[in-house]
Amino acid sequence: MQRKLPQIENGFPRFFTLEMSFATISALSALVLAWSLLMPGGANTPVLLVSGLIFTISLVVVVRFAIDPDSIRARQTSSMLQLASQTLDHMTDGMTYDAAQAICRLLLPNTAACAIAITDLKVILGYAGLDEQDNTPGTPVHTQATRATLADGEIRYLHSAEEIGFPANKQSIQGAIVMPLRIGNNVAGVLKFYYRRGRQITETQRSIAEGFRRLLSTQMTALELENQRQLMTAMELKMLQSQINPHFLFNTINTISSFIRTDPMKARELLREFAVFYRRLLENASELIPLEREIEQTERYFMFEEARFGPDRVELKVEADDRFMELEVPPFIIQPLVENAVHHALPVEGKLTIRIIVEKKGDDIVVHVRDDGVGMSGEVCDNILHPSSTNGLGIAMKNVYDRMKGYYGDNADVEVTSAIGKGTDVILVFPEKAVLGGRDG
């Protein structure tokens, strides 16, 4: 639901604080009291009593505020924190045109500025206040001060229209604070506060402007880091696909080719599923997908391995409650583990059984990829997630580990337990709140 923005009238709405309101009432009642006492013909008793009562109450309230500045600071702090929270709410998708315009409208009533603007490196993203009709989003940056700040990243406090860079015939704005917005160390735009008079640029106004410049810059940097993380995760997934696919492709084509002569119907089925498998592989390159879809893709992959080795040599079992099937998980997170089991745990003789087990443990959802194959030594098991792992097993495991951490942070984990001759258990720990996205589990 969109939050209703403050209405702006005449370009510069203003609201009295509580203490300012009582001070004004006190002053007005004092004037009425003085007028009543000095008016010809004697004082009007009812007016005198009412004005005196109002003056006394208002004066007491003002004095109370004066001797208890902490209450004033507490309200101001609370107001600023609420304003900061509302500002961040608008930036969930970054500093878009809509976000910048909403932020300008949100900040304007809370400063002495007559207009506020946000730009990127080339155009105005948002503008609210005086002369708003001449500074619509998308208009190219045109003032000298803005271009200078974009170039050198310096904060500017300007006290005339000429310093700002306005034409000679525009004198309605005589002061400005021009501050760079940064992503990391790089200037990404400008936040500007315009004032009707240069003397309105007080220390309080400087402090407010600097605070919101830091807030916006920090949020922009955080969003950029998140975008880079997602991009890196997608690139790592593409890298893993390119490393594993050629080997898998070669074996699968050979398997289908052998069935063309011995079992054409089976070959047709495998070929159809092979096309679906690769289509899903490409579709799942970046976004989270339901666990059910990841398991289906893994079962589709295993169909080719079962056709290659035979059902008497490999078997896949899935043990998962239906209520967990809608959990959102990274794509290509289980299938590489099953592939590892087939390639590295298959005994010389006998059958390899792989189980995918999904269960809830405490506040986490846990996925086991467990096999009863040849197992690993303690040393190999301890080093499997080490960055120096260069074989197929290490590459796949490290990628799964990195993407789990990338999506869910330190609350997620990947654990590996194994014993020679008894098999291996790879455990993926998903934080329930993250994978459920706030839904009831």
Helix axes 291-309, 335-345, angle to 10 degrees: 30
Average pLDDT value for residue range 237-265: 74
Average pLDDT value for residue range 185-198: 93
* 131 and 29 together in one domain: no
| Distance, CA of 420 to CA of 373 (rounded, Å) | 9
| Distance, CA of 289 to CA of 301 (rounded, Å) | 17
Q: Does residue 150 fall inside a structural domain?
A: yes
Is pLDDT at 96 greater than 80 in this prediction?
Answer: yes
CB contact at 8 A, 420 and 377 = yes
Q: Of 205, 187, 183, give the one whose Cα is nearest residue 196.
A: 205
Q: Does residue 331 fall inside a structural domain?
A: yes
* 256 and 318 together in one domain: yes
Query: b/e map of 107-123 (b: 16 or more CB within 10 Å)?
Result: bbbbbbbbbbbbbbeee
Q: Is 192 strand, coil or helix?
A: strand
Q: Residue 64's pLDDT band (boundaries 50, 70, 90)?
A: low
| Distance, CA of 189 to CA of 183 (rounded, Å) | 9
**Lowest-confidence region among 13-22, 93-102, 290-299, 332-341:** 13-22
* 355 and 274 together in one domain: yes
* 55 and 157 together in one domain: no
| Distance, CA of 149 to CA of 401 (rounded, Å) | 43
Helix ranges (H only) for 319-391 are 335-345, 378-383
| Distance, CA of 5 to CA of 108 (rounded, Å) | 11
Q: Of 65, 106, 111, 100, give the one whose Cα is nearest residue 84.
A: 106
Q: Of 345, 304, 298, give the one whose Cα is nearest residue 318.
A: 298
| Distance, CA of 385 to CA of 396 (rounded, Å) | 9
Is pLDDT at 10 greater than 60 in this prediction?
Answer: no
pLDDT, tens digit, 9 for 90 and up, residues 348-367? 999 999 999 999 988 889 99
Q: Compute the chain's Rg from CA coordinates.
A: 34
* 313 and 260 together in one domain: yes
CATH number at residue 149: 3.30.450.40
* 192 and 229 together in one domain: no
Average pLDDT value for residue range 301-306: 92
Q: Residue 441's pLDDT band (boundaries 50, 70, 90)?
A: very low
Q: Does residue 73 fall inside a structural domain?
A: no
Average pLDDT value for residue range 99-106: 93
* 274 and 175 together in one domain: no
Q: Residue 145's pLDDT band (boundaries 50, 70, 90)?
A: very high
pLDDT of residue 232: 60
| Distance, CA of 271 to CA of 412 (rounded, Å) | 37
Average confidence score pLDDT of the chain = 80
Is pLDDT at 346 greater than 50 in this prediction?
Answer: yes
Token pair 């917005």 in the structure block, residue = 181
* 108 and 186 together in one domain: yes
Q: Does residue 63 fall inside a structural domain?
A: yes
The more confident residue out of 401 and 26 is 401
**Lowest-confidence region among 77-91, 120-134, 204-218, 270-284:** 77-91
The more confident residue out of 230 and 415 is 415
* 63 and 88 together in one domain: no
CB contact at 8 A, 347 and 373 = yes
* 63 and 186 together in one domain: no
The more confident residue out of 439 and 431 is 431
Q: Residue 5's pLDDT band (boundaries 50, 70, 90)?
A: very low
Domain end point (choices 39, 67, 95) = 67
Is pLDDT at 439 greater than 50 in this prediction?
Answer: no
* 309 and 381 together in one domain: yes
Q: Which two tokens stand for residue 329?
A: 């998980």
Q: Domain count of the chain?
A: 3
Helix ranges (H only) for 263-390 are 264-283, 291-309, 335-345, 378-383
Provide the domain limits for residue 428. 225-436
* 240 and 383 together in one domain: yes
